[in-house]
Amino acid sequence: MSSPDPSVVLDLIEAFRRSKTMFTAVRLGVFDRLPATAEHLGRTLEADPGALGRLLDGCVGLGLLQKNADRYENTPASDAYLRKQSPQRLTGYIEYSDQVLYRLWGCLDGAVKEGTHRWKNALGLDGPIFSSFFRTPEARSEFLAGMHGLGLLTSPAVVRVFNLNRFRHLADLGGATGHLAVAACERYGEMYATVFDLAEVVEEARAHVNVSRAAGRIRLQAGDFFQDPLPEADLYAVGRILHDWSEPKIRTLLTRIHAALPPGGGLLIAEKLLDEDRAGPVATQMQSLNMLVCTEGRERTESEYRALLEEAGFTQVEARRTGASLDAVLAIKM
């Protein structure tokens, strides 16, 4: 009898090595200092040139670098997403993944046994991970820049998958750098938007919003969507928000949104959707485990979101796959 194909197991044994290779190259600033030889880069980074050469060759094998003779260069993808000066950069989220999530995932067994996040176990934190870890302006700014890069990849798809022409004012709750508001206002020429987030986050959003051709129709407002009055709008949006929280907190937020909407108003949710049988997609399953180790929340199916929305009073709930890494749900208040 022949043995089963071991490739799926062998691939997963090595998967973290590939991630850590990219994480380390980003953390060292490799992609910001190319083109260069390993010897020259080693002097710049104060790194052993032989060891650095192994790291660079690994990046070549992963498709992150190109090598011409002994000279290393960025690929178009690394130039766009792995350079810290690129407006599309994902480096902030990569460094967060390296310094925080990598450690939290090391405690996954305890999270599975106890059903709780691993802030205290992995990081020694007593409070919420975002407020505790991003306590310096520099760390917060770089993290938000990374999330902005992710938003540039997903928000255009989220605002395109439904026709939102009937709405006039979008309020993006927890809108971060404003990428969803920008995508919506640039697509729908008569739409206005408010980016609603904590005061320190709103300040980070200003520079991103100001470069949009729709900047004149987007305003910024500081506030906490759990406590403060919500901006007036006929369409609210929550992107990568609901998956952070438990059902009781989600019910509180959805009830507040429903009460603030006029009749016919809507709520646009941008999240990864699990298949109804929870057998996929893999990226959503992995993100749900990520929520286990680092938040109070999880990823959900369409029917779970539908139940929460209908309980809050919404009707005409529809979910659509966008083809990007976030899906979309639109619910209407009748």
Catalytic residues: 243
**Exposure string for 112-136, b = 16+ CB within 10 A, e = fewer:** eeeeebbbebbbebeeebbeebbee
Taking the C-alpha atoms of residue 49 and residue 41, their distance in angstroms, rounded to an integer, is 8
Task: Indicate the residue type of 176.
Answer: A
Say how far residue 332 (Cα) sits from the centre of its chain.
Answer: 25
Of how many residues is the chain composed? Answer: 334
Alpha helices, DSSP H, located in 215-281: 247-260
Q: Fill in the DSSP letter of residue 280.
A: -
Q: State the DSSP H helix or E strand holding residue 271, giving kind and residue range, or none if neither.
A: strand 266-271
DSSP string, 301-321: EHHHHHHHHHHTT-EEEEEE-
Helix, strand, or coil (residue 119): helix
Nearest residue to 252 via CA among 241, 268, 263: 241
Query: Could you tell me whether strands 300-301 and 273-274 are parallel, antiparallel, or unpaired per DSSP bridges?
Result: parallel
- Residue 45, Cβ density class (10 Å: 0-12 exposed, 13-18 middle, ≥19 buried): middle
